[in-house]
């Protein structure tokens, strides 16, 4: 097991201890971490998209989340920049070498100041962070939050179809109902075919009586 992976497990265990303890994570802490990290990424050459609970809550039914999930587009020429950003911000993380950054599917980090966990997905399941998906991101400014790039609703749906947990299916249904007029069905179908989840998408469409 590589040093980066072992370090990731160590970070995860420390965070779980905090969650089980008496310390309560406030929304302001999460927002502060988001502001700090997003500002740094937007002043870099690293493309990103906010995913996870923030994206699900925006497109579907709002719910609280305890961490920050981002998909990031990492290339050999930007790997060192990511390490520099995390170190400069004082984030504890599981990547110390360029190889760690390029080979680790998810970089686990903790914002020590706010006690917030950040998952930076370099190889997120169900999402190809290519030029097209980056161009389809949605620029949002939730009240009290920093302005940010959010993964498109179509790409979020595909991510949840590949995960295929019961809560993911429920969230997909909510997103499709609430955002029906916004969905690019042609793009959604293309991505579903790329990730081999077209039958699952068709089944949900039939259940909701969405014929597009």
Three-class secondary structure assignment of 130-181: CHHHHHCCEEECCCCCCCEEECCHHHHHHHHHHHCCHHHHHHHHHHHHHCCC
The pLDDT assigned to 187 comes to: 97
Does 178 or 63 have the greater pLDDT score? 178
pLDDT tens, position by position, 102-156 = 999 999 999 999 999 999 999 999 999 999 999 999 999 988 889 999 999 999 9
* 47 has a pLDDT exceeding 60: yes
CA distance 184 to 190: 10
CA–CA dist 82, 89 (Å, integer): 11
Higher pLDDT, 23 or 147: 147
Strand-pair partners of 109: 93, 118
Single pTM value for the model: 0.87
Q: Give 99 or 66, the one with higher predicted confidence.
A: 99
CA 13 to chain centre: 21
């Amino acid at each position: 097991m590589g040093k980066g992976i072992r370090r990731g497990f160590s970070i995860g265990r420390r965070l779980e201890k905090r969650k089980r303890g008496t310390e309560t994570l406030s929304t302001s802490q999460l927002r502060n971490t988001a502001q700090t990290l997003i500002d740094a990424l937007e002043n870099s050459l690293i493309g990103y998209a906010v995913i996870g609970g923030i994206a699900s809550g925006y497109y579907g039914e709002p719910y609280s989340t305890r961490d920050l999930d981002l998909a990031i587009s990492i290339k050999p020429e930007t790997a060192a920049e990511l390490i520099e950003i995390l170190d400069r911000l004082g984030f504890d993380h599981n990547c110390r070498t360029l190889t760690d950054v390029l080979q680790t599917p998810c970089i686990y980090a903790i914002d020590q100041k706010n006690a917030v966990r950040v998952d930076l997905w370099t190889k997120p399941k169900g999402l190809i962070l290519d030029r097209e998906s980056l161009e389809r991101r949605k620029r949002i400014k939730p009240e009290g939050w920093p302005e940010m790039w959010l993964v498109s609703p179509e790409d979020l749906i595909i991510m949840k179809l590949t995960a295929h947990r019961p809560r993911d299916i429920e969230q997909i249904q909510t997103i499709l109902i609430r955002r029906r007029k916004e969905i690019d069905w042609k793009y959604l179908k293309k991505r579903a075919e790329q990730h081999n989840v077209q039958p699952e998408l068709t089944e949900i469409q039939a259940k909701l009586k969405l014929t597009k």
